[in-house]
Amino acid sequence: MELVNKVKQGFEQTFSAAADFVVKAPGRVNLIGEHTDYNDGFVMPCAIDYATLVAVSARDDGQVHLVSLDYQCQQDQFSLNEEISFVENKLWANYVRGVVVELQKRGHVLSGCNIAITGNVPQGAGLSSSAALEVGIAYAFDQLCNLSISKQDIALISQAAENNFVGCACGIMDQLISACGKDNMALGIDCRSLDLTEVTIPDGMRILMFNSNVKRGLVDSEYNLRREQCEAAAKHFNVSHLRDVAIETFERDKQGLSALVAKRAEHVVYENERTLAAMQAFNASDITKISQLMAGSHQSMKTLFEITCPEIDFMVDTIAKVLGDKGGVRMTGGGFGGCIVALVPDNLVDVIISEVENTYQSETGLKESVYISQPVKGVAVI
């Protein structure tokens, strides 16, 4: 309720009136399946109880006025009746502008509005604060203007905003789980068909996220380069996406790839298989198998896709020594910093948090942040 009160009060202070409604869009953590989404592959995220809140009221002048309560109450405004351009030094505002552009591209008739934004999804941590903002804005306009857009299309519009306006070539996972998340469930996502498979979290297990506080920025990082390398590999195999390359095909025909591109492709091909296996292992409560799959995923991100960093690897190794085969741990998110995710039995939660607190800062000079969440539902009016 604290966050709800913050956005309502911030809205009233900025616009001198109460908001008509408030939208909540969750962040997400991906349990397994990294950099497979833009390869049309498989991922297994869940929505988390850290979210972006968007308070909205209608205007009758075709203007959109914004305030971000988390950026010193920075403001932005633009007209729905004029070309909407990218603004420098206000990245948060460009996510909003990009969503509006994509809604208009699809022929949706939008109304002016006042919007206040706040949230507690850690930024730059790999928990999808940007996707939560995009989905929250898209759903807010859907509700304000009675557009009747499906949750899947909310996600697609939000992804297009990030791809086309903000300039990050992300896949669909982050936006789709923020839109379609389920209470107490992870979702296995087929990123080609957008089919969703409900995946249960085994009883007695908690989801822990540790932010390494190694800052990362996807637009400025090597994320887009990894995508280009995957596209080059797909072209070699004469398919549109690496999702269509079976392990046997990869092993038989990989010699025609450069050593670097072959490593990138190997990660994606095997990560898809690990993700499909994980869906079964979670639903069967096979903790030993989950442990093996998450460990394999991390090792692949470290040595083949090369998106981890020493701080992340130290944290994963520290937790793995305590967990053994009683749970799983891996880096999560785009890489180059950010978060790790661990599936931990209830009786080891405090032990693992203490172990990280006792070792991580002295080893790296950085102080970790800890988040605990069970899966929550996707975007909604609250």
Instruction: Report helix, strand or coil for 211.
Output: strand
Q: What pLDDT score does 219 carry?
A: 41
pLDDT of 123 strictly over 80:
no
Q: Is residue 187 part of a domain?
A: yes
- 88 and 219 co-located in one domain: no
Q: Within 13 Å and on the Cβ side, how many CA atoms surround 34?
A: 35
Q: Is the dihedral of CA 157, 162, 163, 165 positive or negative?
A: positive
| End-to-end Cα spacing for the chain | 10
- 221 and 185 co-located in one domain: no
Residue 94's domain comprises 2-196
How does pLDDT run across 290-318, given as a tens digit for each residue?
A: 999 999 999 999 999 999 999 999 999 99
- 146 and 285 co-located in one domain: no
Contact yes or no for 43/341 (Cβ under 8 A): no
How does pLDDT run across 180-189, given as a tens digit for each residue?
A: 999 999 999 9
Q: What pLDDT score does 195 carry?
A: 95
- 54 and 184 co-located in one domain: yes
Chain mean pLDDT for the chain: 95
Contact yes or no for 278/34 (Cβ under 8 A): no
Q: What is the CATH number of the domain that holds 357?
A: 3.30.70.890
- 89 and 184 co-located in one domain: yes
Q: Is residue 382 part of a domain?
A: no
- 181 and 281 co-located in one domain: no
Q: What is the CATH number of the domain that holds 51?
A: 3.30.230.10
- 179 and 229 co-located in one domain: no
- 118 and 238 co-located in one domain: no
Catalytic residue numbers read 174
How does pLDDT run across 184-214, given as a tens digit for each residue?
A: 999 999 999 999 999 999 999 999 999 999 8
CA 358 to chain CA centroid, Å, is 28
How does pLDDT run across 153-165, given as a tens digit for each residue?
A: 999 999 999 999 9
- 134 and 80 co-located in one domain: yes
Query: What number of helices (H) and strands (E) belong to the chain?
Result: 11, 13
- Give the count of domains, the chain: 2
Predicted confidence band at 1 (pLDDT cuts at 50, 70, 90)?
confident
